Structures are given as C-alpha cells and as structure tokens.
C-alpha cells in the first residue's frame, strides 16, 4: 500500500472528533498517517486527539496552530507536513466507510489517476435521515467529463472530503487552499485541481458520510458574509481554470455556463439578503459591455439550462422586478 496522509483540521470538534478518528483508524488499508491540525481549539479536541491516536498503531502527528486561522490555513499546514503519496482531507465531524482508502487508492494506483472521488451520503442528526448525494458521472475518467457532468447536473460536489489527490501532482501544480476564505475554499481547490489533472476517476460506492449538525459552519451559509465568500471563491476558481486549462470544452463550460451562473447568483444573493443598496450598486455593472456579453453567452446552454438565460433577460430589462421576485 502507498502511504496516504489523512489531514484533519479540527476546531472545537470535541463532540464528534473521537467518532471520526475511530472510523479512520479502522480503515482496512495498511499504510496511512493521521495529521491533526488543531486550529487553536478552546474545547477538549486536543485531548481527545491525543487519547484516540496514542491508543492506536497508526502513525500520527498533531500540529497546534497558535491562533484560529480557519480551515484553509489548517489544511495548508497539514499539506505541507504530509509525507504520503496520496492526501485525503477529512473533516473532523464526519464518518467514513472502512473500505474508503482501499477502494480509492486501488483505483488511483491501478489507473494512474491524479484524483479519485467516491459517492457520499448526508446524515442529518436532527432527523436521523440519510440522503444520498446525486452523482451520475458513472464512467467519468477525464476533466472534460467532470465539467460536463457538473454542467448537466449529474454531480454537485463542492468539497474535498470524498476525494483523494496524488500529492506529487498537487506539489507540481502548486495547488493550495485560498487562505482567508471562510466558505467555498474547498470547491475552489477541487475545481482548480480538476482543471490541471490528467485523469480524474469516480467510484460509485458510497464510502463517505457527511454529518449535518447545528454547530457546523455550513449551517450558517446563508449569512451574507458567507455567501459573499462563496461567490468570490467561485470567481477565483473560474478565472484560474480559464488561465490554466488547455482543454477547449472546459473553457466552453466556464465561459458560457459557469461564469454567467456565478454572476446571476451574485445578484440573487443580494436580493435574498434584502440588501437593496448593494443590489442597486451591483446593477451598474450591467452597463458594461463585457458583463452583458458574459451573461448573454448563457444562451448557448439554453437547451440544458433555460432558466439561466431567462434570469439574465430579467436582470437586463426588469431589474426591480427581479429583486422583488427573489427577495427573501
């Protein structure tokens, strides 16, 4: 087995950390190292990590940051410390099937892939329900097919937990998480990596369990600051993809679907937040020829995403009505 570095950022994760670490230690894969990056937790996360890991035979390291630097910095710290041929960024409050590393690493090694990801399910603690993520990208092997599947609503993945990456690929590509980004940093990382990868593989097996609970960051994602961070992350990643990919089909998806969709979402987030002043300021950009060209290009995807083009028409000719319809 090739060594896998499991990087786990932990900030006040005492309620779930022991269960998460136990599921990682129980992997039926022989060669892994656990790297905990304690992001200046004020609860018992550090003590729990020491207790669980010291009682296992798995190699491990615990790195404590001097102050809370949010998840992007924690993941970058873990990535710098990693020694494995593959890296896996696992959240401190989730669960994983014992076959996760065996299956994904087997695919990565056997088919020489830079990135491999698997199916996942969502578990909601308040209701006790499981909801499988919709992923229909069954035969995907290339970045082009990843973007095509994403544009066709065959997958909706914005996080890194159910992915493994070849570390040498990340190093040579100089990929890291955008520090200071409070939401959307993982989606940005994944899309940048996919754009540069030579081979991306999907495994249908549901091997990752994403736990939804009231104290997690994603529960606050509707806050204006979070949505603003998300949209900035998306603009950064689309710009990166356009600058670095040589694949014509990928550029087509970004220019004619991804960028228009992100621009429309910017207006929608302001309207939903009831921020009339910011929305009005934003509408001024519609006077710029380049902005209108980007939004108008969505007509090329009208067969797949007709609502996107009609949202553009509403923004172009009925801005006040669009605000009223989307408010709240």
What is the DSSP secondary-structure string of 254-306? Answer: IIIIIHHHHHHHHHHHHHHTT-HHHHHHHHGGGGSHHHHHHHHGGGGGTTT-H
Which residue, 91, 116, 149, 153, is CA-closest to 308?
153
At residue 170, the pLDDT reads 98
- How much is the pLDDT for 138? 63
The model's confidence at residue 213, banded by pLDDT at 50, 70 and 90, is confident
DSSP state of 4: E
- The pairing of beta strand 86-89 with beta strand 163-166: antiparallel
pLDDT reported for residue 157:
64
Other C-beta atoms closer than 10 Å to the C-beta of 311 total 23
pLDDT bin (cut points 50, 70, 90) of residue 227 is: confident
Q: What is the mean pLDDT of residues 91-95?
A: 96
Give the pLDDT band (50/70/90) at residue 249: confident
- Model confidence band, residue 273 (pLDDT cutoffs 50, 70, 90): confident
Distance CA 264, CA 267 (A): 5
pLDDT above 70 coverage of the chain, percent:
94
For residue 107, the surrounding DSSP H or E stretch is helix 100-110
Band (pLDDT 50/70/90 cuts) for residue 223 is: low
Residue 222 has pLDDT above 70, yes or no: no
What is the sign, positive or negative, of the torsion defined by CA atoms of 311, 314, 319, 324? negative
Beta strands 60-64; 32-38: pairing state: parallel
Query: Over the chain, what is the mean pLDDT?
Result: 90
Choose the weakest-confidence range: 1-15, 68-82, 290-304: 290-304
pLDDT of 159 over the 90 cut: no
Could you tell me the sign of the dihedral formed by the alpha carbons of 162, 17, 7, 183, in that order? positive
Strands (E) in the chain, as ranges, are: 4-10, 32-38, 60-64, 86-89, 95-96, 115-124, 129-132, 163-166, 200-212
Cα-based distances in Å from 265 to 58, 155, 234: 44, 19, 10
* Res. 139 pLDDT band, cuts 50 70 90: low
Task: Out of 179-183, 224-228, 260-264, 314-318, pick the least confident.
Answer: 224-228
Beta bridge partners of 208: 96, 120
The residue whose two tokens read 């290009």 is 297
pTM flag (> 0.85): yes
Among 161-175, 191-205, 298-312, the range with the most confident prediction by mean pLDDT is 161-175
State residue 125's pLDDT score: 92
Residue 267 is predicted with a pLDDT of: 92
The pLDDT value given to residue 228: 78
Q: In whole angstroms, give the CA distance from residue 317 to residue 298.
A: 16
| Alpha carbon distance 79, 56 (integer Å) | 22
């Amino acid at each position: 087995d090739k060594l896998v570095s499991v990087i786990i950022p932990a900030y006040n994760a005492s309620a779930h950390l022991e269960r998460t670490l136990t599921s990682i230690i129980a992997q039926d894969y022989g060669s892994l190292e656990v790297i905990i990056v304690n992001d200046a937790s004020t609860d018992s996360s550090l003590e729990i990590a020491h207790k669980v890991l010291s009682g296992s035979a798995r190699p491990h390291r615990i790195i404590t940051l001097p102050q809370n630097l949010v998840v992007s910095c924690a993941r970058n710290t873990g990535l710098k410390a990693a020694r494995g041929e593959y890296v896996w960024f696992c959240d401190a409050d989730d669960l994983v099937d014992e076959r996760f590393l065996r299956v994904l690493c087997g695919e990565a090694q056997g088919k020489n892939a830079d990135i491999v990801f698997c199916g996942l399910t969502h578990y909601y603690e308040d209701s006790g329900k499981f909801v499988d993520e919709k992923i229909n990208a069954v035969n995907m092997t290339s970045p082009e097919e990843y973007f095509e599947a994403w544009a066709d609503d065959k997958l909706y993945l914005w996080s890194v937990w159910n992915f493994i990456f070849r570390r040498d690929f990340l190093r040579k590509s100089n990929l890291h998480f955008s520090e200071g980004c409070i939401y959307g940093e993982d989606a940005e990382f994944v899309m940048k990596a996919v754009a540069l990868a030579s081979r991306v593989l999907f495994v249908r097996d549901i091997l990752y369990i994403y736990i939804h609970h009231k104290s997690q960051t994603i529960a606050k994602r509707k806050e204006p600051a979070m949505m603003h961070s998300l949209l900035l992350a998306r603009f950064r990643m689309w710009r990166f993809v356009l600058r670095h990919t040589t694949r014509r089909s990928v550029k087509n998806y970004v220019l004619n679907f991804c960028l228009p969709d992100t621009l429309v979402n910017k207006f929608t987030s302001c309207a939903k937040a009831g921020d009339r002043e910011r929305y009005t300021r934003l509408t001024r950009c519609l006077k710029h020829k380049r902005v209108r060209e980007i939004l108008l290009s969505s007509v090329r995807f009208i067969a797949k995403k007709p609502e996107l083009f009609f949202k553009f028409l509403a923004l172009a000719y009925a801005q006040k009505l669009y605000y009223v319809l989307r408010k709240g």
